[in-house]
A and B are shown apart, each in its own frame.
Chain A
Amino acid sequence: MAAISARERVQRWAWGSERLREALVGYAFILVPMGVFLVFFIFPIGYAVYISRYEWGIFGKIDYVGWGNYRTLFHDEIFWRAVKNTAMFAVAVVALEVTLGLALAVVVNQTLRFRTFYRAGFYFPSIASSAAITAIFIYILSANGLLNSFLGLFGYHTSRPWFYDSSTALWSIVGLNGWATSGTIMLFYLAALQSISVEVYEAAAIDGARAWRTFWKVTFPLLRPAHFFVLVVAVIGALQIFDQAFIVAGADGGPNYSTMTVVLYLYNKAIASVQFGYAAAVGVVLFVGIFVITGVQRLLFGRPDVA
Chain B
Amino acid sequence: MTEPPEVRGLPPVVAVDALASTGEAAIDAPVHGHIPGRERAEQIRTVVIYLVLTLIAILFAVPFLWSVLTSLKPLSETLSFTFLPKTWTVSAYHSVFTEFSFGRYTLNSVIIAAAVTVCNVFLASLGGYAFARLRFPGRELLFMLVLGTLMIPDQLRLVPVYQLLVNVLPKYLHVTLVPSRLGFILINLVSAASLFLMRQYFLTIPRDLEEAAKLDGAGYFKTFWRVMLPLAGPAVAAVTILTFQGTWNGLFWPLVIFQDSSLYTLPIGIARFHQVYTTLWPQLMAASVVALVPIVALYVLFQRYFVAGVAAAGVKG
Task: Mark each residue of chain B from 41 to 73: 1 if its CB lies under 8 Å from any CB of chain A, else 0.
Answer: 100010001101100110111111011001000
Q: Separation in Å of the A275 CB from the closest CB of chain B? A: 10
Q: Separation in Å of the A41 CB from the closest CB of chain B? A: 4
Q: Confirm or deny: A48 has a beta carbon within 8 angstroms of a beta carbon on chain B.
A: yes
The listed residue (A19, A132, A286) touching B156 by CB distance below 8 A is: A286
The count of residues in chain B whose C-beta lies closer than 8 Å to any C-beta of chain A is 111
Q: Confirm or deny: B137 has a beta carbon within 8 angstroms of a beta carbon on chain A.
A: yes
B31-A133 in contact (CB<8A):
no
The listed residue (B30, B56, B274, B310) touching A187 by CB distance below 8 A is: B310
Task: Mark each residue of chain A from 94 to 111: 1 if its CB lies under 8 Å from any CB of chain B, else 0.
Answer: 000100000110011111
Interface segment out of the listed B84-92, B189-197, B203-211, B230-238: B189-197
Assuming the A-B contacts A132-B270, A136-B67, are A242 and B166 also in contact, with contact meaning beta carbons closer than 8 angstroms in the complex? no
In the complex, A305 Cα to B8 Cα: how many Å? Answer: 10
The listed residue (A29, A108, A283) touching B159 by CB distance below 8 A is: A283
In the complex, A41 Cα to B80 Cα: how many Å? Answer: 50
Q: Separation in Å of the A304 CB from the closest CB of chain B? A: 8
B158-A184 in contact (CB<8A):
no
A237-B81 in contact (CB<8A):
no
B155-A287 in contact (CB<8A):
yes
Q: Confirm or deny: A137 has a beta carbon within 8 angstroms of a beta carbon on chain B.
A: yes
B291-A144 in contact (CB<8A):
no
Please provide the chain A residues from 118 to 146 with a CB less than 8 Å away from any CB of chain B in the complex.
118, 120-133, 135-140, 142, 144, 146
Q: Confirm or deny: B126 has a beta carbon within 8 angstroms of a beta carbon on chain A.
A: yes
The prevalent SS among residues of B at the interface is helix
B134-A22 in contact (CB<8A):
yes
Q: Confirm or deny: A55 has a beta carbon within 8 angstroms of a beta carbon on chain B.
A: no
In the complex, A60 Cα to B157 Cα: how many Å? Answer: 16
Q: Separation in Å of the B32 CB from the closest CB of chain A? A: 6
Q: Confirm or deny: B314 has a beta carbon within 8 angstroms of a beta carbon on chain A.
A: yes
The listed residue (A24, A237, A270, A306) touching B315 by CB distance below 8 A is: A237
The listed residue (A51, A120, A205, A263) touching B38 by CB distance below 8 A is: A205
Q: Separation in Å of the B250 CB from the closest CB of chain A? A: 9
The listed residue (B61, B67, B145) touching A121 by CB distance below 8 A is: B61
A118-B155 in contact (CB<8A):
no
B49-A234 in contact (CB<8A):
no
Contacts of B148 in A (CB 8 A): 42
Please provide the chain B residues from 260 to 301 with a CB less than 8 Å away from any CB of chain A in the complex.
266-268, 270-271, 274-275, 281, 284-285, 287-289, 291-292, 295-296, 299
Q: Confirm or deny: B16 has a beta carbon within 8 angstroms of a beta carbon on chain A.
A: no
Assuming the A-B contacts A29-B134, A127-B299, are A40 and B156 also in contact, with contact meaning beta carbons closer than 8 angstroms in the complex? no
B252-A243 in contact (CB<8A):
yes
The listed residue (B134, B154, B158, B160) touching A25 by CB distance below 8 A is: B134
Q: Separation in Å of the A57 CB from the closest CB of chain B? A: 10
Contacts of B313 in A (CB 8 A): 184
Q: Separation in Å of the B39 CB from the closest CB of chain A? A: 13
In the complex, A24 Cα to B138 Cα: how many Å? Answer: 12
Contacts of B192 in A (CB 8 A): 37, 41
B134-A26 in contact (CB<8A):
yes
Q: Separation in Å of the B154 CB from the closest CB of chain A? A: 7
Please provide the chain A residues from 229 to 277 with a CB less than 8 Å away from any CB of chain B in the complex.
229, 233-234, 236-243, 246-247, 250, 262-263, 266-267, 270-271, 276
Task: Mark each residue of chain A from 186 to 214: 1 if its CB lies under 8 Å from any CB of chain B, else 0.
Answer: 01101101100010011001100011000
Kindly report which residue of chain A lies nearest to residue B35, judged by CB atoms: A205
A25-B220 in contact (CB<8A):
yes
Q: Confirm or deny: A45 has a beta carbon within 8 angstroms of a beta carbon on chain B.
A: yes
In the complex, A88 Cα to B268 Cα: how many Å? Answer: 27
Q: Confirm or deny: A62 has a beta carbon within 8 angstroms of a beta carbon on chain B.
A: no
B285-A135 in contact (CB<8A):
yes
A30-B41 in contact (CB<8A):
no
In the complex, A125 Cα to B27 Cα: how many Å? Answer: 20
A136-B66 in contact (CB<8A):
yes
- B11, B248, B285 — which one has the most chain A CB atoms within 10 A of its CB? B11
Contacts of A41 in B (CB 8 A): 149, 152, 157, 192
In the complex, A32 Cα to B195 Cα: how many Å? Answer: 12
Contacts of B136 in A (CB 8 A): 22-24, 26-27
B156-A283 in contact (CB<8A):
yes
Q: Confirm or deny: B95 has a beta carbon within 8 angstroms of a beta carbon on chain A.
A: no
In the complex, A23 Cα to B135 Cα: how many Å? Answer: 6
* 25 residue pairs bridging A and B, Cβ less than 8 Å apart: A29-B220, A36-B189, A41-B149, A45-B160, A58-B166, A107-B49, A107-B53, A109-B31, A128-B296, A130-B267, A132-B67, A132-B287, A138-B284, A139-B66, A144-B80, A149-B81, A187-B27, A188-B311, A190-B27, A194-B26, A247-B251, A247-B274, A250-B275, A276-B159, A279-B159
Chain B residues in contact with chain A, CB under 8 A? 9, 11, 14, 24, 26-33, 35, 38, 41, 45, 49-50, 52-53, 56-57, 59-64, 66-67, 70, 79-81, 123-124, 126-127, 129-131, 134-137, 139, 142, 145-146, 148-149, 152-164, 166-167, 186-187, 189-190, 192, 195, 220-221, 224, 245, 248-249, 251-252, 255-256, 259, 266-268, 270-271, 274-275, 281, 284-285, 287-289, 291-292, 295-296, 299, 303, 306-307, 310-311, 313-317
Sample of 17 more A-B contacts, CB < 8 Å, known A127-B245, A135-B284: A22-B220, A25-B221, A32-B127, A48-B157, A48-B160, A56-B163, A111-B31, A121-B57, A129-B292, A130-B249, A131-B288, A133-B63, A185-B315, A194-B29, A233-B314, A267-B252, A276-B162
Q: Give the top 8 A-B pairs by smallest Cβ distance, nearest first.
A: A237-B315, A131-B267, A26-B134, A44-B160, A29-B130, A26-B136, A132-B288, A240-B317
